[in-house]
Amino acid sequence: DTTSNTDKKTLAESVVGAVKDAKDAIANTAQAAKEKTQEALSSAKSKASDAVETVKAKAGEVVDAVKTKAGDAVDAAKSKTGETADAAKSKAGDARDAAKSKTADAVDAVKTKAGETADAVKTKAGETA
């Protein structure tokens, strides 16, 4: 009967120990799962953050490229406008110079004709006299 009680006590301790071990194993598994979930969540957050930064960087590059293109277009337009204005000024200057030259040529031609006429008149007058 005493042996039987000892056996029962040992058996009960074994069962209690096994239950305790099972509880610990479950707790450890739950803790490990929780840690894995946290790691996965942190990794996902980090990847999402990296992706957002990459998108922001790309968007920034696109904006910079657009600004650069717009700036180049504005500069090109300014340059073209300047060239057009210079060409117009040059043409106007050429036309003015040509007009002056034509006027001077016409005046010279009139003077020459007048001189020839005067000489002819003098010559005629000399022949007559």
Percent of the chain with pLDDT over 70: 97
Tens of pLDDT, residue by residue over 78-117, are 888 777 777 778 787 777 887 788 887 877 888 888 777 7
Per the domain annotation, does 21 fall within a domain?
Answer: yes
* Number of folded domains that form the chain: 1
CATH of the domain at 67: 1.10.132
Per the domain annotation, does 107 fall within a domain?
Answer: yes
Per the domain annotation, does 37 fall within a domain?
Answer: yes
Task: Give DSSP secondary structure letters for the chain.
Answer: -HHHHHHHHHHHHHHHHHHHHHHHHHHHHHHHHHHHHHHHHHHHHHHHHHHHHHHHHHHHHHHHHHHHHHHHHHHHHHHHHHHHHHHHHHHHHHHHHHHHHHHHHHHHHHHHHHHHHHHHHHHHHHHH-
Per the domain annotation, does 18 fall within a domain?
Answer: yes
Q: What is the pLDDT of residue 1?
A: 61
Per the domain annotation, does 127 fall within a domain?
Answer: no
Per the domain annotation, does 104 fall within a domain?
Answer: yes
Per the domain annotation, does 129 fall within a domain?
Answer: no
d(CA 111, CA 115): 6
Tens of pLDDT, residue by residue over 46-59, are 998 888 889 888 88
